[in-house]
Amino acid sequence: MGHHAPRRGRLTDVPVSENVYPPREIEPEALETGRLLFARECRFVAGAAEIGALPPETLPEIAFLGRSNVGKSSLVNALTGRRTLARTSNTPGRTRQLNFFALDERLMLVDLPGYGYAEASKTAIAAWTRLIEHYLRQRGTLRQICVLLDARHGLKPPDRPVMQLCDRAGLSFQIVLTKTDKLTAEERVAIGERVGAAIKTHTTAHPELHLTSAEKRLGIEALRATLSSFALPEPAAALASSHQAR
């Protein structure tokens, strides 16, 4: 086994990112790893509207969970730099399946159907709950859940049961605020503080929040850096070519 590569000499001022809360420096190496991974090919693998249609567990998975219309599909599109990979829509509740996207065959992004839309029938809610609970509890390859909250509103009543389910099932989750382009700088800090305090009671919540705007491409690099830490390492062939001469 090789020893750790020496840290590259870094510039004196790594800028503090305001797109994570609490704000912190993000290592340039992590940003570069994220940039490279998310620049790779992203392939639609499957859409599953029922348990039997879930694809095999092949890659570490990141699930995007949140209320209908919170911006899940837009965020997946922004992360992968594609406009139309995940279907976005103005009609709440239209995308009712789990959509699986393989990124560089090293990480699976899963766009989950939204919850909390007003017109949903009891039957539809029961079906959603059964499918999502099954997925969240049984998926052996699930590594992280991004719970998306609209930055203008923060936590809404339908978000609590989802976070409680994560706690009960011991599933690690990370809050991602969306649509921050609608907020002033002061409002961004305020919502960070408010949501940061509200999730303290949830044992499996990551204490750090990500603040994003798919529309204005804010916080996308920082989120890529965080998510890329869950990806499989680069294939052996790529590693071998960088370690040829011994």
In the complex, the smallest distance separating the C-beta of residue 213 from ligand GDP, rounded to whole angstroms, is: 4
> 124: Cβ–Cβ under 8 A, 6 or more apart, which residues?
93, 96
Rounded to an integer, what is the distance from CA 160 to the centroid of its chain? 18
- Closest residue to Mg ion, Cβ-based? 73
In the complex, the smallest distance separating the C-beta of residue 7 from ligand GDP, rounded to whole angstroms, is: 34
Pick between residue 13 and residue 119 the one whose CB is nearest to ligand GDP. 119
Q: What character string, x for contact with Mg ion (CB under 5 A) and - otherwise, covers 92-131?
A: ---x------------------------------------
Interaction site with ligand GDP (CB under 6 A): 66, 68-74, 88-90, 114, 178-179, 181-182, 213-215
DSSP per residue, 139-194: -TTEEEEEEEEETTT---TTHHHHHHHHHHTT--EEEEEE-GGGS-HHHHHHHHHH
Q: What is the CA angle 75-177-28, rounded to 5?
A: 75
Pick between residue 56 and residue 157 the one whose CB is nearest to ligand GDP. 157
Residue at 61: amino acid letter = E
In the complex, the smallest distance separating the C-beta of residue 182 from ligand GDP, rounded to whole angstroms, is: 5
17 contact choice in Mg ion, ligand GDP, none (CB below 5 to 8 Å, kind-dependent): none
In the complex, the smallest distance separating the C-beta of residue 176 from Mg ion, rounded to whole angstroms, is: 14
68 contact choice in Mg ion, ligand GDP, none (CB below 5 to 8 Å, kind-dependent): ligand GDP
96 contacts 139 by C-beta, under 8 angstroms: no
> 156: Cβ–Cβ under 8 A, 6 or more apart, which residues?
67, 116, 149
Instruction: Take residue 198 and report the two structure tokens written for it.
Output: 């509200």
Pick between residue 91 and residue 241 the one whose CB is nearest to Mg ion. 91
Instruction: Take residue 49 and report the two structure tokens written for it.
Output: 């509207």
- Could you give the CA distance from residue 222 to residue 204 in angstroms, rounded to a whole number? 21
Pick between residue 129 and residue 229 the one whose CB is nearest to ligand GDP. 129
Handedness of CA 233, 206, 202, 151 (dihedral sign): negative
In the complex, the smallest distance separating the C-beta of residue 91 from Mg ion, rounded to whole angstroms, is: 10
If one asks whether residue 73 binds Mg ion (CB under 5 A), the answer comes out as yes
In the complex, the smallest distance separating the C-beta of residue 17 from ligand GDP, rounded to whole angstroms, is: 17
Residues lying near Mg ion in the complex (CB under 5 A): 72-73, 95
